[in-house]
């Protein structure tokens, strides 16, 4: 018979296992203030590559004096917006990034 006490014990054990797994798989948080322009640009490109949109894998990022610049070409304005949105967490978590300069070009395919 399952009792409330047994369920609580199982839940506590599961939470402990999750914490242990996270400590093994998640890297230690770094002090982002130590990151230079190259590391910030690489982190931005990694965020774009992890977005799930193949078109965003080809976007180049540069960081200089508080400005993160995005350059490349995509097929829709939606993808241009998605690229900027994909970087929101990085920007919000990094005091050095003051703004995003989205220079991504949208090319329109001619109808056949």
Digit-coded pLDDT (tens) for 46-65: 999 999 999 999 999 999 99
Q: In 3D, which of 43, 74, 69, 79 has the Cα closest to residue 58? A: 74
Which pTM was predicted? 0.67
In a domain, 13, yes or no: no
DSSP-assigned letters across all residues of 44-70? HHHHHHTTS-GGGGG-EEEEETTEEEE
Task: In whole angstroms, give the CA distance from residue 18 to residue 12.
Answer: 10
- pLDDT tens sequence for the chain (112 residues): 556 665 556 656 555 554 555 444 444 444 555 679 999 999 999 999 999 999 999 999 999 999 999 999 999 999 999 999 999 999 999 999 999 999 999 998 778 7
CATH of the domain at 72: 3.30.1340
Q: Which parts of 1-112 are beta strand (E)?
A: 60-64, 67-71, 73-74, 99-102, 105-106
What's the domain count of the chain? 1
Spatial CB neighbours of 41, under 8 Å, sequence gap ≥ 6: 61, 62, 63, 68
In a domain, 7, yes or no: no
Domain containing residue 54: 32-106
Percentage with pLDDT > 90 across the chain: 61
In a domain, 57, yes or no: yes
Task: Report pLDDT for 108.
Answer: 81
Task: In whole angstroms, give the CA distance from residue 111 to residue 89.
Answer: 37
In a domain, 50, yes or no: yes
Q: What average pLDDT does the structure give for the chain?
A: 82
Q: In 3D, which of 73, 79, 78, 70 has the Cα closest to residue 99? A: 70
Spatial CB neighbours of 43, under 8 Å, sequence gap ≥ 6: 35, 90
Task: Report pLDDT for 28.
Answer: 44
């Amino acid at each position: 018979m399952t009792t409330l006490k047994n369920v609580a014990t199982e839940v506590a054990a599961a939470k402990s296992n999750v914490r242990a797994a996270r400590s093994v798989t998640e890297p230690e948080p770094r002090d982002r203030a130590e990151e230079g322009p190259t590391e910030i640009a690489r982190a931005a490109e990694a965020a774009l590559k992890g977005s799930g949109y193949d078109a965003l894998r080809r976007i180049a990022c540069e960081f200089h004096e508080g400005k993160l610049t995005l350059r490349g070409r995509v097929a829709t304005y939606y993808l241009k917006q998605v690229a900027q949105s994909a970087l929101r967490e990085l920007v919000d978590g990094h005091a050095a990034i003051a703004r995003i300069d989205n220079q991504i070009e949208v090319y329109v395919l001619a109808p056949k």
